[in-house]
Amino acid sequence: MEQKRFIKNDNSFICANCGKTVEPLGYSSRNHCPFCLWSLHVDENPGDRASECGGRMYPLRVEIDAKKGYVIVHKCEKCGAVKRNRAAHLAKVQPDDIRLLIKLTTGNI
Ligand SMILES: [Zn+2]
Ligand SMILES: [Zn+2]
């Protein structure tokens, strides 16, 4: 029997850090919690769910990209991998906490 160990693309999930229920984004796969911005190390490339790690990823900092806007830099607690993920603060459903994003920025604003 194949076990479904990881979250399927854009389903609702329970955040591994704060325990809140996160609803699907709708337009793209959501890969982090909008409340605490933590993520899970399940992707090699955004949305592919190809990583075997499964560790929790915390928001290291937030960068401001001229094209992408807010980009959250996540670091894996388990293996130390660093990934960049576009923030979803403009989402209609449960947008990312903008105050938390600003708090984590490197001060370019
Ligand atoms: Zn959370
Ligand atoms: Zn990892």
Q: What is the pLDDT along the chain (109 residues), one digit of tens a residue?
A: 554 554 445 678 899 999 999 998 877 778 899 999 999 998 888 778 899 999 999 999 999 999 989 999 999 999 999 999 999 999 989 999 999 999 999 754 4
Nearest in space to 10 (alpha carbons), one of 102, 26, 20? 26
Q: What is the pTM of this model?
A: 0.82
Question: Which ligand ends up closest to the CA of 76?
Answer: 2
Q: How far is the CA of 13 from the centre of ligand 2 (A)?
A: 19
Ligand 2 center to 39 CA (angstroms):
10
